[in-house]
Amino acid sequence: MEKNWWHGKIAYQIYPKSFKDSNNDGIGDLRGIINKLDYLSNLGIDIIWLSPIYQSPFVDNGYDISDYRNIASVFGTMEDFKELLEKAKTQNISIILDLVVNHCSSEHPLFQKALKNPFSEEGSYFYFEKGRDGHAPDNLRSYFGGSVWEKVPGQDNLYYLHYFAKGQPDLNWTNPKLREKIYDMVNFWLKMGVAGFRIDAIMNIVKDTKFPGLPADDSDNLCACNKMTNALVDKTVPLLNELKAHTFDKFNALTVAEAFGVNDKLLPKLYGDEGCFSTLFDFAARQPYELLPGYYAFFKSNINNYRDANFATQKKVLDSGFICPILENHDEPRALSFYFEKEEQTPKTAKALATVFMFLRGLPFIYQGQELGMTNTCFESLDEFNDLLAYDEYKKCINHGLSEKQALAVLNEQSRDHGRTPMLWDDSLHAGFSEHTPWLKIHQDYKKLNVKTQNADDNSVLNTYRKLIALRKDARFVEIFTYGTFEALLENEDRIVAYLRSLNGSTLAIFANFKTEEYQIYHQGLHEIVFSTVKDNTLKDEKLTLAPYSACVCLTNP
């Protein structure tokens, strides 16, 4: 595998609306991020991914872009962005942006022109189709509920396609002129000094333009559009290679794809030395939930599922390249709440989980607030949610016979808003995020759960993340953690996560015990604990004793 500049680094995702508000309008902004660069540098972060900062009507919180070359005014100006790039550079931090090119906003000037004349040049940048027998062209269901087709206002029988919200019309990638426009825009940011992109929903860009539909999978007579995407996924590769050749390749950009539903055979074409992206997020542990017909079918995950899914990926990607391990992102509930029962959602558990996460092979992405051990926020009524998906899923719950109380409980497990509540900086009003009431509820525990309090406690989750990141980058170990092999241990042991990372005869072993009682592990060669989340873990005669809900990293003798 060729070495690359981003190997051995640690990435951090910022959701700009919720990171830090500098002008006290209740919404995070770029200057807020600039003001917190020291915090990120001190944590050990090398790469920041910014969720969309472009101009947008914010139907889907910025994933609906109306101007790809300008900054949303709520976030600041282009000058602010350039300052952020520059100041980050002085701290050796690279910035990657979110590339959202499966769709744009219905307020984008090109779509506005297309709506006026769907048969114009601008119309050919989108998908317009005639209805069939008084119905939409096919029966696919959008990711956010309802048909993927919306009637064109003022037209009798003409629809436009939107796999996400109505305000997010899909771009027609079969049109080479549109592709040129996209490549130009990508190069505009790369020339400015952006180090790469996280690439949104990219496996959706190919459609079957006969729009045949699929057998219905629920009582609404529709079928989830991701089933069509998965069926066509191989066909995206030539387009993605073209995108890469015209843009990323020229700048040695880091590209991280959001790619669900990819089969194993396709993986080498998607990432690694020969792939169209640098790397992909590892969604394996969350994948079963993507396949559910709705939140109403939610079932609780657990640490064994997390382990099994991550280990399966680690084994799969061993030779072909790097993957990006994640615990959370802005589309997911908080990891502690997702994998653990209420009484287990403690700082101890957060630290043990952080340890098993941090040393997996790949480029780890930490999501804002994860480093504090944030849990889900308690939403007390439907109107406290912001996400459009929450409203659709609530309706689905009710349609499937759940009571209002049960539907609310489901959202309190599953909603994307759990990842989007403001960052908790201190114990003052609004958690130091803003002096104004924030756009989304502040976590109920902010008085104790915040950066200021955790900074002062050497044993906090935050300081544990700092130590883990420093250990991963320690000159003695960085090559092993970056390029070393992965070997799973004790895979069938309930609530134990254990693996080895080895390179050129040196091995580090990572062990975590999520049982309620102590656990002993004998492993030949174990000889020094280099990190432990608790003081009472001991190693004697190659026998490690792990306290409940604890983890450690050990050196082994060759």
Catalytic residue set: 200, 258
Q: Rounded to the nearest whole angstrom, what is the least distance from the CB of residue 268 to ligand NOJ in the complex?
A: 24
CB atoms within 10 A of CB 227: 16
Candidate residues 29, 122, 150, 200; the one interacting with ligand NOJ per rule CB under 6 A: 200
For ligand NOJ, the closer of residues 100 and 372 by Cβ is 100
Residue 328 as a binder of ligand NOJ (CB under 6 A): the answer is no
Q: Which is nearer to ligand NOJ, 164 or 477 (CB)?
A: 164
First to last CA, the chain: 25
Q: How far is the CB of 98 from ligand NOJ (least distance, A)?
A: 8
Q: What tokens were used for 289?
A: 């939930």
Rg from Cα positions in the chain: 24
- Two tokens at 291? 């396949």
The smaller minimum CB distance to ligand NOJ, of residues 122 and 200, is found at 200
Nearer to ligand NOJ, 285 or 551 (CB): 285
On the CB side of 157, CA atoms within 13 Å amount to: 7
Min dist. Cβ of residue 331 to ligand NOJ (A): 5
435, 429 Cβ separation under 8 angstroms: yes
Please enumerate in sequence order all residues whose Cβ is within 8 A of that of 312, keeping only pairs 6 or more positions apart, or say none: 284
The reply on whether position 63 binds ligand NOJ by CB under 6 A is yes
Residue 227 is encoded by which pair of tokens? Answer: 């089933």
Of positions 30, 40, 53, 100, contacts ligand NOJ by CB under 6 A: 100
Instruction: Compare residues 201 and 468 and give the one whose CB is closer to ligand NOJ.
Output: 201
Site for ligand NOJ in 253-312 (CB under 6 A): 258
Asked whether position 335 contacts ligand NOJ by CB under 6 A, the answer is no
Nearest residue (beta carbon) to ligand NOJ: 63
Q: Measured from the CB of residue 464, what is the shortest distance to ligand NOJ in angstroms?
A: 27
Q: Concatenate the DSSP letters of all residues of 9-78 into one string.
A: --EEEE-GGGT--SSSSSS--HHHHHHTHHHHHHHT--EEEEPP-EE---TTTTSS-SEEEEE-TTT--H
Selected binder of ligand NOJ within 6, 54, 111, 164 (CB under 6 A): 164
> Based on CB atoms, which residue is closest to ligand NOJ, 324 or 461?
324
Tell me whether residue 425 is exposed, middle or buried, using C-beta atoms within 10 angstroms of its C-beta: 0 to 12, 13 to 18, 19 or more. Answer: buried
- To ligand NOJ, the closest distance from the beta carbon of 416 in angstroms equals 7
CB of 146 to ligand NOJ, least distance (A): 15
Contact residue for ligand NOJ among 60, 129, 170, 282 (CB under 6 A): 60
359 contacts 467 by C-beta, under 8 angstroms: no
Q: How far is the CB of 348 from ligand NOJ (least distance, A)?
A: 30
Quick one: which of 331, 426, 435, 542 contacts ligand NOJ (CB under 6 A)?
Answer: 331
371 contacts: CB under 8 Å, gap ≥ 6: 43, 354, 461, 462, 465
Looking from the CA of 397 toward its CB, the CA atoms found within 13 Å total: 24
97: nearest Cα among 185, 168, 210: 185
Half-sphere exposure of 458 (CA within 13 A, CB side): 2
Residue 201 within binding range of ligand NOJ, rule CB under 6 A: yes
Q: Does 57 participate in binding ligand NOJ (rule CB under 6 A)?
A: no
Q: Which residue ranges make up the site for ligand NOJ (CB under 6 A)?
A: 60, 63, 100, 164, 200-201, 258, 330-331
